[in-house]
Amino acid sequence: MLPSIQPMPLLKRRFAFDDPNWIFELKYDGFRALVVLKNGKAQLISRNGNPFASFTDLCGQIEATLPKADETILDGEIVCTDAEGKPRFNDLLFHRGAPCFFAFDLLKRDGKDIRLQSLSERKHELRWLLAKISPPFPLRYADHLEGKGTALFERVCELDLEGIVTKQKHAPYVSDRDASTWFKILNPAYSQRKGREELFERDRHSEPVPGWHSCDLACANLPA
C-alpha cells in the first residue's frame, strides 16, 4: 500500500502577507502524514515514507469514515486537540489523547491522480469527499482563508498557535522542493515549542538508535 508519491515540501517564510492568489491555513502542530485508502484499508504514511505504527485505531476509524473510498490519497496532519480544539503536540507524542487527522489536500481520488489540478480544485473535491462525515470526526477538513494572511497570522499569535501555512491556490501538487509553493510562517512566541528541542536532544542520546525524536518515532521501520 505504500505510495510512490512524496509529500509536497513545506518551505519557510518569515512574514505574513495578503494576496488574492494565495490561501492561508492554520499550521497544525502534529505529524505530517499521507492517508492511503485501498481495498477497504487505510494506512498512515510519514513524510519519509514509513508507515506509522502507533495509530492503528485512527486508521480503523478512517476506514469506517470513508468505507467506499478506494485508491484515494489525502495529505494532512495527525493531531491531538484539547477541549478548545487547540493542537497539543505533547499529548500526541506521549499518546495522552485521541488523535484525529486534519486533511488539507487530496492527491488521488478513486484511482484518479489529481495532483496536476489547481489547489483550489483539489480542496473543493476534498471538501465534498468529507462533507458527510459524522461525529466524532476522526477525519476533518482543514479549512482556509483566501487572500488574507496578515489578519489570520495576528489571530494565530493571539491564540498561541504554531503559525500559518500559505499556498498558491492555482498551483499543482509537486514533490520537488525547488518548485514548492507552500510556505510556513511560524509564531515566534509559540509556547509549546519551548523545551521541545531539549526533550528531543535528551532522548536522542538515550535511544539505542538515534533519531526517534523525528516524526518517525511513531513509525515502524520498513523491512530491508
- 127-178: per-residue pLDDT in tens? 999 998 877 789 999 999 999 999 999 999 999 999 999 999 999 999 999 9
Of 17, 14, 11, nearest to 147 by C-alpha is 17
For the chain, list the strands marked E by DSSP. 11-12, 18-26, 31-38, 41-46, 72-79, 100-109, 112-113, 139-141, 145-148, 163-168, 182-186
Evaluate whether residue 6 is within a structural domain.
no
pTM (predicted TM-score): 0.86
Evaluate whether residue 101 is within a structural domain.
yes
Range of the domain at 200: 11-207
Task: Starting at the earlier edge strand, list the strands of the sheet with 145-148.
Answer: 11-12, 182-186, 163-168, 18-26, 145-148
Evaluate whether residue 214 is within a structural domain.
no
DSSP letter for 176, please.
Answer: -
Q: CB 140: neighbour CB atoms within 10 A?
A: 18
Q: Which CATH number belongs to the domain containing residue 38 in this structure? A: 3.30.470.30
Question: Which residue type does 96 have?
Answer: R
How many domains does the chain fold into?
1
Q: 69-118, pLDDT tens digit by residue?
A: 999 999 999 999 998 889 999 999 999 999 999 999 999 999 999 999 99
